[in-house]
Amino acid sequence: MFNELSNKEVKAMKKIRTYLMEHGKTPSVRDLMREMGYKSPRSTAVIIGSLLEKGILVKKKNGTYMVSEFQLPKNLGNRAQTVKIPLLGSITCGLPIFAEENIEAEVSISVELLRNGERYFLLKAIGNSMDLAGINDGDLVLVRQSQTANDGDRVIALIDDEATIKLFKKNEKHVVLLPKSSEKKHQPIILMRDFRIQGIVESVIKI
Protein backbone atom coordinates (compact mmCIF):
# COMPACT_ATOMS: atom_id res chain seq x y z
CA MET A 1 0.00 0.00 0.00
CA PHE A 2 2.82 2.44 0.85
CA ASN A 3 4.50 2.07 -2.57
CA GLU A 4 2.31 4.81 -4.05
CA LEU A 5 2.86 7.29 -1.21
CA SER A 6 5.40 10.06 -0.75
CA ASN A 7 7.78 9.97 2.20
CA LYS A 8 5.66 12.53 4.05
CA GLU A 9 2.51 10.50 3.42
CA VAL A 10 4.17 7.31 4.66
CA LYS A 11 5.28 9.15 7.81
CA ALA A 12 1.74 10.50 8.29
CA MET A 13 0.19 7.04 7.93
CA LYS A 14 2.58 5.59 10.49
CA LYS A 15 1.70 8.39 12.90
CA ILE A 16 -2.03 7.91 12.25
CA ARG A 17 -1.79 4.16 12.91
CA THR A 18 0.21 4.65 16.12
CA TYR A 19 -2.24 7.30 17.34
CA LEU A 20 -5.17 5.03 16.48
CA MET A 21 -3.74 2.17 18.53
CA GLU A 22 -2.91 4.42 21.50
CA HIS A 23 -6.14 6.45 21.57
CA GLY A 24 -8.72 4.26 19.83
CA LYS A 25 -9.51 6.95 17.25
CA THR A 26 -7.87 8.70 14.33
CA PRO A 27 -6.08 11.99 15.07
CA SER A 28 -7.53 15.36 14.13
CA VAL A 29 -5.58 17.65 11.79
CA ARG A 30 -4.06 19.45 14.79
CA ASP A 31 -3.33 16.18 16.59
CA LEU A 32 -1.46 14.91 13.53
CA MET A 33 0.31 18.27 13.18
CA ARG A 34 1.72 17.85 16.69
CA GLU A 35 2.61 14.19 16.11
CA MET A 36 4.58 15.11 12.97
CA GLY A 37 6.26 18.13 14.56
CA TYR A 38 4.71 20.70 12.20
CA LYS A 39 4.03 24.29 13.28
CA SER A 40 1.00 24.81 11.04
CA PRO A 41 -2.03 22.60 10.42
CA ARG A 42 -2.05 23.53 6.72
CA SER A 43 0.71 21.07 5.78
CA THR A 44 -1.04 18.27 7.67
CA ALA A 45 -4.39 19.10 6.03
CA VAL A 46 -2.75 18.87 2.59
CA ILE A 47 -1.31 15.43 3.40
CA ILE A 48 -4.66 14.18 4.73
CA GLY A 49 -6.35 15.51 1.58
CA SER A 50 -3.90 13.61 -0.60
CA LEU A 51 -4.42 10.38 1.39
CA LEU A 52 -8.18 10.80 0.98
CA GLU A 53 -7.78 11.23 -2.80
CA LYS A 54 -5.67 8.07 -2.99
CA GLY A 55 -8.25 6.08 -1.02
CA ILE A 56 -5.87 5.35 1.87
CA LEU A 57 -8.15 7.34 4.14
CA VAL A 58 -11.93 7.48 3.80
CA LYS A 59 -14.07 10.45 4.80
CA LYS A 60 -16.99 9.70 7.10
CA LYS A 61 -20.42 11.36 7.07
CA ASN A 62 -19.59 13.46 10.13
CA GLY A 63 -16.58 15.02 8.35
CA THR A 64 -13.86 13.03 10.12
CA TYR A 65 -11.91 10.24 8.45
CA MET A 66 -11.06 6.60 8.94
CA VAL A 67 -8.26 4.33 7.74
CA SER A 68 -9.50 2.26 4.79
CA GLU A 69 -7.29 -0.71 5.62
CA PHE A 70 -5.58 -1.51 8.91
CA GLN A 71 -3.57 -4.74 9.11
CA LEU A 72 -2.79 -6.54 12.35
CA PRO A 73 0.32 -8.75 12.78
CA LYS A 74 0.56 -11.67 10.38
CA ASN A 75 0.20 -14.29 13.12
CA LEU A 76 -3.51 -13.48 13.28
CA GLY A 77 -4.13 -15.38 10.05
CA ASN A 78 -3.41 -15.66 6.36
CA ARG A 79 -4.41 -12.55 4.44
CA ALA A 80 -6.36 -14.63 1.91
CA GLN A 81 -8.47 -15.99 4.79
CA THR A 82 -9.34 -12.76 6.53
CA VAL A 83 -12.31 -10.43 6.64
CA LYS A 84 -12.35 -6.77 7.57
CA ILE A 85 -13.85 -5.97 10.96
CA PRO A 86 -14.60 -2.37 11.99
CA LEU A 87 -12.50 -0.87 14.78
CA LEU A 88 -14.69 1.53 16.74
CA GLY A 89 -13.18 4.52 18.46
CA SER A 90 -14.95 7.18 20.52
CA ILE A 91 -18.64 6.55 21.09
CA THR A 92 -21.27 9.20 20.46
CA CYS A 93 -23.64 9.61 23.40
CA GLY A 94 -27.12 8.25 22.81
CA LEU A 95 -26.13 6.05 19.88
CA PRO A 96 -25.40 2.32 19.77
CA ILE A 97 -21.73 1.39 19.82
CA PHE A 98 -21.99 -0.21 16.39
CA ALA A 99 -22.77 2.85 14.27
CA GLU A 100 -21.14 3.95 11.03
CA GLU A 101 -19.96 7.25 12.48
CA ASN A 102 -17.97 5.39 15.16
CA ILE A 103 -15.82 3.38 12.72
CA GLU A 104 -12.17 4.46 12.86
CA ALA A 105 -10.59 1.73 10.74
CA GLU A 106 -11.11 -1.71 9.28
CA VAL A 107 -8.93 -4.49 10.66
CA SER A 108 -8.15 -7.73 8.82
CA ILE A 109 -9.09 -10.63 11.10
CA SER A 110 -8.66 -14.34 10.45
CA VAL A 111 -11.95 -16.08 9.61
CA GLU A 112 -10.95 -18.78 12.09
CA LEU A 113 -11.68 -16.32 14.92
CA LEU A 114 -15.24 -15.68 13.71
CA ARG A 115 -18.54 -17.53 13.72
CA ASN A 116 -20.40 -17.84 10.43
CA GLY A 117 -23.35 -15.47 10.07
CA GLU A 118 -22.42 -13.28 13.06
CA ARG A 119 -21.48 -9.59 13.07
CA TYR A 120 -18.36 -8.39 14.87
CA PHE A 121 -16.60 -5.21 15.85
CA LEU A 122 -13.37 -4.31 17.66
CA LEU A 123 -12.91 -1.98 20.61
CA LYS A 124 -9.80 -0.67 22.32
CA ALA A 125 -9.86 -1.49 26.04
CA ILE A 126 -9.15 1.39 28.41
CA GLY A 127 -8.14 0.89 32.02
CA ASN A 128 -7.52 -2.22 34.11
CA SER A 129 -10.95 -3.11 35.47
CA MET A 130 -10.72 -6.48 33.68
CA ASP A 131 -6.99 -7.24 33.89
CA LEU A 132 -7.56 -10.45 35.86
CA ALA A 133 -9.86 -11.61 33.07
CA GLY A 134 -7.07 -11.17 30.51
CA ILE A 135 -8.06 -7.72 29.24
CA ASN A 136 -5.44 -5.03 29.82
CA ASP A 137 -5.26 -1.35 29.01
CA GLY A 138 -4.63 -0.90 25.27
CA ASP A 139 -5.75 -4.38 24.21
CA LEU A 140 -8.14 -4.84 21.30
CA VAL A 141 -11.22 -6.89 22.08
CA LEU A 142 -13.08 -8.75 19.35
CA VAL A 143 -16.79 -8.43 20.10
CA ARG A 144 -19.65 -10.49 18.66
CA GLN A 145 -22.78 -8.37 18.42
CA SER A 146 -25.48 -9.62 20.76
CA GLN A 147 -28.25 -8.14 22.89
CA THR A 148 -28.29 -11.09 25.27
CA ALA A 149 -25.66 -12.83 27.40
CA ASN A 150 -25.12 -15.86 29.62
CA ASP A 151 -23.66 -15.93 33.12
CA GLY A 152 -19.90 -15.54 33.00
CA ASP A 153 -19.78 -13.84 29.59
CA ARG A 154 -17.51 -10.83 29.19
CA VAL A 155 -20.00 -8.30 27.87
CA ILE A 156 -19.95 -4.83 26.38
CA ALA A 157 -22.70 -3.03 28.31
CA LEU A 158 -24.03 0.44 27.60
CA ILE A 159 -24.92 2.28 30.83
CA ASP A 160 -26.00 5.93 30.72
CA ASP A 161 -24.58 6.09 27.19
CA GLU A 162 -21.14 4.91 28.33
CA ALA A 163 -19.69 1.55 27.35
CA THR A 164 -17.99 -0.78 29.81
CA ILE A 165 -16.52 -4.29 29.67
CA LYS A 166 -17.56 -6.49 32.60
CA LEU A 167 -18.46 -10.07 33.56
CA PHE A 168 -22.22 -10.69 33.30
CA LYS A 169 -24.15 -12.23 36.22
CA LYS A 170 -27.93 -12.48 36.37
CA ASN A 171 -30.51 -13.62 38.92
CA GLU A 172 -34.29 -13.24 39.21
CA LYS A 173 -34.22 -9.69 40.55
CA HIS A 174 -31.19 -7.95 39.08
CA VAL A 175 -28.06 -8.07 36.98
CA VAL A 176 -24.54 -7.65 38.31
CA LEU A 177 -21.69 -6.47 36.09
CA LEU A 178 -18.51 -7.66 37.76
CA PRO A 179 -15.01 -6.24 37.32
CA LYS A 180 -12.08 -8.64 37.47
CA SER A 181 -9.36 -6.27 38.55
CA SER A 182 -6.16 -6.26 40.58
CA GLU A 183 -7.27 -2.87 41.97
CA LYS A 184 -9.97 -2.71 44.65
CA LYS A 185 -11.31 0.63 43.39
CA HIS A 186 -13.23 -1.25 40.67
CA GLN A 187 -16.50 -2.42 42.21
CA PRO A 188 -19.53 -4.37 40.88
CA ILE A 189 -22.33 -2.52 39.13
CA ILE A 190 -25.81 -3.69 40.20
CA LEU A 191 -28.62 -2.99 37.74
CA MET A 192 -32.24 -3.81 37.03
CA ARG A 193 -32.99 -3.52 33.31
CA ASP A 194 -31.76 0.03 32.71
CA PHE A 195 -28.87 -0.90 30.45
CA ARG A 196 -28.18 -2.49 27.07
CA ILE A 197 -25.89 -5.33 26.10
CA GLN A 198 -24.05 -4.53 22.88
CA GLY A 199 -21.95 -7.66 22.47
CA ILE A 200 -19.87 -10.51 23.87
CA VAL A 201 -16.06 -10.40 24.00
CA GLU A 202 -14.82 -13.49 22.14
CA SER A 203 -11.11 -12.75 21.76
CA VAL A 204 -8.51 -10.41 23.24
CA ILE A 205 -5.79 -9.23 20.87
CA LYS A 206 -2.52 -8.06 22.36
CA ILE A 207 -0.91 -5.34 20.24
pLDDT tens-digit readout, 26-73:
888 999 999 999 988 999 999 999 998 888 888 887 778 888 755 444
Q: pLDDT at residue 14 above 90?
A: no
Q: How far apart are CA 144 and CA 120, in angstroms?
A: 5
- Rounded distance, CA 115 to CA 83, Å? 12
Please pick, among 68, 110, 129, 181, the residue that the annotation labels catalytic. 129
Q: CA torsion angle for 28, 29, 34, 37 (degrees, to 10)?
A: 150
Please report the DSSP string for 47-115 in residue order. Answer: HHHHHHHTTSEEE-TTS-EEEEEEEPPGGG--GGGEEEEEEE-S--TTS-SS-GGGEEEEEEEEGGGS-
Cβ-contact 69, 84 below 8 angstroms: yes
Compute CA 172 distance to the chain's CA centroid, rounded to the nearest angstrom: 33
The torsion defined by the Cα of 126, 163, 95 and 102, in degrees rounded to 10, comes to: 20
Looking at residue 67, its pLDDT comes to 81
Residue 61 bears catalytic tag: no
Q: Is 68 a catalytic residue?
A: no
- pLDDT at residue number 37: 92
Instruction: Give the percent of the chain with pLDDT over 90.
Output: 27
Q: By three-state DSSP, how is residue 186 classified? A: coil
Reference 1, options 97, 96, 102, 106; nearest CA is: 106
pTM above 0.85, yes or no: no
Catalytic residue among 14, 43, 166, 181: 166
In the predicted structure, residue 90 carries a pLDDT above the cut 70: no
pLDDT at 73: 43
